[in-house]
Amino acid sequence: GEGACPADGDYAPCSASFRLAKVVRLETFVPERVSAASGGDVEVTVVNIIGISAGNFFAVLTGRDSGRVYVAGASRDPTNLPGDNVITPDVVLANFVAPPWEFGEETVDVRLNFTGVDTGNGKSYFDALTFSFDYYNPEELRLISLNPTTGLTTGGNLVFIRIGNTVVSSTFGLSVVFGDMDECFDCVTEVKPVDFGVTGIFLRTPQVPEEGEVEVVIMRGVDQVVPTFRFLFTVPCDYQGTFCPSLGPTYVPDLEALRVNPPSTSDCLSKFCLDLSGLPSPDVVDWSPKGGPTTGNFTLSVTLDNLRASSILQVAATFGGAEAELLGIEAVPASPKSVLTLLVPELTAEVCPACLSLNDNCGTLADCGVDVTVWSTLFPQRPASLRFEFEYYPRFPPLIRSLSRGCALDRPQDCLLPERSVQVGEEALVFVELSGFPAAPLAQRHVVRAVVNGTDG
């Protein structure tokens, strides 16, 4: 540190500043494997290092005595700020050429030596880092890595295999055998190069009858294209019957999450369970149109809230008892809403006597209740029951059958003979007989308007 602190033994107050020392460390090196026949370039990333140039690096392969291998180049990472800020470490990229390895396939230790200048005090220093990489035999087929090494007996797990020296370049003709099961010709989903001399193979595991470790062989015809490897199948967590109910009486499996992102291990994870007590209830927030003719056969859009379209399993809807056909389910972007499209059924007196006038088979102004039942992965044990009102209009257009004066609605027997004229300035009660017009109860007379020469009657 720097400051004006006194010598030992003097306890007078003082102040000083200190600079945190940084630990030089190896971040990455690529590739992790080099051909023993030809050798190859290796790039090393070192952090928390300052005052370095290519001449300050050299590497020594210590697996067997091979002498010194000078680093071909070293430079600062252009994305990193220079200086000795401990929050943003100084990054140096160095590369050296690993020579051909006459000893064949072997793991080799590498000691990376370097010297530099500490810009904090101007003094030079020496340091070294050690790591290992593999030489491989380019003549032999080899399995480089397998991830993951376990899966579920229910199948569906994606496994990524890195293979060296394979002639496979596509999924054509590839089959996979898991243990004693039959060949699977659609288990390999993708083949692509991932590095020089390295091919990546993606395969989807099938459903197997029991748990346990099995041998896996990938073939093209009669030729084996991947070294035999072992894969462990385990029984998945029982979210439905055991695990989720154990968290509480309101917990159920999140079937949507299990479908979209199925677990790859047998571990029981609470993220795949839903607490129904914390979920808002589904609701009908809009529908269009609000009504229509009793003949039906037109579409109706119903907007549901708090119900994702992807979670809906089944929908049943009835209009006054008449079943509607579900034409489609759409999601509302960036929203928990969904839209149902229904084909409105015909409404008859036989289906819903209360919805129609039995005398002339006309609709009434009384609304018809629409019941919608939705089964969803969000609540698999109990469907949601929703209801809204829909207004059926008359089957036929309304017609004026007669006009009468001098009577009241509640005493039509007092009506005079049909009379269609009223003197100017005279006010009179007029009885209008209609057909094909909804019957309006007295409580709903406000919804019926009579306009006489532009003036409300």
User: pLDDT digits over 415-435, tens only?
Assistant: 555 555 666 666 777 777 776
User: Among residues 109, 120, 189, which one has the least CA distance to residue 157?
Assistant: 189
265 phi and psi angles, rounded to 5 deg:
-130, 170
Torsion of CA 277, 279, 281, 287, to 10 degrees: 180
C-alpha 363: how far from chain center: 47
Q: 312 vs 138, which has greater pLDDT?
A: 312
Question: Is residue 134 within 8 Å of residue 162, measured between CB atoms?
Answer: no
**Which residue do the tokens 């300035």 mark?**
425
* pLDDT of 5 strictly over 70: no
Least confident of 262-266, 270-274, 361-365, 416-420: 361-365
| CATH assignment, 283-393 | 2.60.40.10
The whole-number pLDDT of residue 54 equals 47
pLDDT at residue 322, as a whole number: 84
pLDDT at 159 over 90: yes
- pLDDT tens string 336-364: 889 999 999 887 766 666 555 434 434 44
CB burial class (10 A; 0-12, 13-18, 19+) of residue 333? exposed
Distance between CA atoms of 228 and 213, rounded to whole angstroms?
13
β-partners of residue 411 are 408
The pLDDT of residue 421:
62
Q: What is the mean pLDDT of residues 405-415?
A: 59
Q: Give the H/E segment covering residue 255.
A: helix 255-260
- Range from 12-26, 130-144, 221-235, 379-393 carrying the lowest mean pLDDT: 12-26
User: Do residues 299 and 342 lie in contact, with contact meaning Cβ atoms separated by under 8 Å?
Assistant: yes
- Position 24 scores a pLDDT of 73
Share of the chain above pLDDT 90, in %: 19
244: helix, coil or strand?
helix
Is the pLDDT confidence value at 450 over 60?
A: yes
C-alpha triplet 325, 294, 392: angle, nearest 5°: 95
Give the right CATH number for 142-234 from 2.60.40.10, 2.60.120.590, 1.10.3210.10, 2.60.120.380.
2.60.40.10
The reply to whether omega before 148 is within 30° of 0 (cis) is yes
Residue 77, pLDDT score: 52
Does 326 have pLDDT greater than 90? yes
Q: How far is CA 125 from each of CA 22, 35, 113, rounded to the nearest angstrom?
A: 13, 34, 11
Peptide bond preceding 289 in cis form (omega within 30 of 0): yes
Encode 269-330 in three state secondary structure.
Answer: CHHHEEEHHHCCCCEEEEEECCEEECCCCCEEEEEEECCCHHHEEEEEEEECCEECEEEEEE
Identify the band that residue 18 occupies on the pLDDT scale cut at 50, 70 and 90: very low
Nearest to 109 by CA among 139, 88, 130, 79: 130
**Cα–Cα distance for residue pair 356/394, rounded to 1 Å:** 9
pLDDT of residue 416: 56
CATH top-level class for 25-136? mainly beta
* pLDDT(1) > 50: no
Per-residue confidence band for 50, with pLDDT thresholds at 50, 70 and 90? low
The better pLDDT of the pair 80, 217 is held by 217
pLDDT band for position 236 (50/70/90)?
very high
Q: Enumerate the domain spans of the chain.
A: 25-136, 142-234, 240-278, 283-393, 399-456
Q: Give the CB-side neighbour count of residue 298, counting CA atoms within 13 A.
A: 13
Among residues 128, 167, 160, the alpha carbon closest in space to that of 145 is found at 160
CA atoms within 13 A on the CB side of 97: 6
Indicate if 283-393 has the same CATH topology as 142-234.
yes
Q: Are strands 299-305 and 283-288 parallel, antiparallel or unpaired?
A: antiparallel
Q: What is the pLDDT of residue 195?
A: 77
CA 303 distance to own-chain centroid: 22
pTM equals 0.46
In the predicted structure, residue 177 carries a pLDDT above the cut 90: yes
* C-beta of residue 137 within 8 angstroms of C-beta of residue 197: no
Omega cis (within 30) before 31? yes
- pLDDT on residue 175: 92
Predicted confidence band of residue 11 (pLDDT cuts 50, 70, 90)? low
Q: Count helices and strands (H / E) in the chain.
A: 2, 33
Interval 275-313: pLDDT, tens: 877 778 888 999 988 888 777 888 999 999 988 887 888
